């Protein structure tokens, strides 16, 4: 399939998912667009500051992307583009979007507090500690999986012995790392 066609179809599916599924979730959960957010009701100029939608999109996108831009192409090289594209579309709409939607909904309804604070208030301090332990262990698992995926690309092989990846990834990473060091030196010199 042509890459441009795949991109156009994927964007169309995501837009439809946003328009239809997002609207259904908002209706089901009772979202009121006229309700003020904590950026307005708790405005302190530091943690709570009203922002333009484009700025919010940038912040949200960078925080949810995580390891995806790095591991996505690696997974596509290992498993092929069809399973990875399906995972991005189906997983993004029905898992990732609902998770983020629910987290933001809970935070907005609770004066911008974190999920841990909301759990502590509604279920008690023991539940908050349990949630923090679970979140910590989940992060360790994600970091380990991420490290394993990246390490496999540096090794030059995948977990499937019948497929071999070239060591070009390692060379490219070394060049990028060197350029980042040079960039850091220039930025520090500018002050």
pLDDT in tens, 39-85: 999 999 888 999 888 888 888 777 777 667 777 777 887 888 899 89
Residue 191: the pLDDT is: 59
pTM listed for this prediction: 0.67
Give the pLDDT band of residue 137 (cuts 50, 70, 90). Answer: very high
Place of tokens 């484009």: 54
Locate the domains of the chain by residue range: 3-113
Minimal CA–CA distance to 152: which of 74, 93, 41?
74
């Amino acid at each position: 399939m042509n890459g441009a066609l795949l991109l156009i179809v994927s964007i169309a599916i995501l837009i439809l998912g946003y328009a239809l599924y997002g609207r259904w979730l908002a209706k089901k959960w009772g979202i009121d667009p006229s309700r003020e957010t904590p950026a307005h009701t708790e405005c302190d100029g530091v943690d709570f500051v009203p922002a333009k939608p484009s700025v919010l999109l940038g912040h949200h996108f960078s925080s949810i992307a995580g390891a995806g831009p790095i591991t996505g192409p690696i997974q596509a090289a290992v498993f092929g583009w069809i399973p990875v594209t399906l995972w991005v579309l189906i997983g993004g709409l029905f898992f990732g979007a609902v998770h983020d939607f629910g987290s933001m909904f809970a935070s907005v309804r609770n004066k911008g507090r974190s999920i841990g604070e909301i759990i502590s208030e509604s279920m008690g301090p023991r539940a908050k500690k349990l949630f923090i332990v679970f979140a910590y262990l989940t992060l360790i698992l994600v970091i380990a999986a991420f490290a394993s995926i990246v390490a496999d690309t540096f090794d030059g092989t995948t977990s499937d012995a019948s497929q071999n990846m070239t060591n070009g990834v390692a060379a490219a990473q070394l060049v990028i790392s060197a350029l980042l060091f040079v960039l850091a030196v220039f930025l520090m010199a500018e002050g």
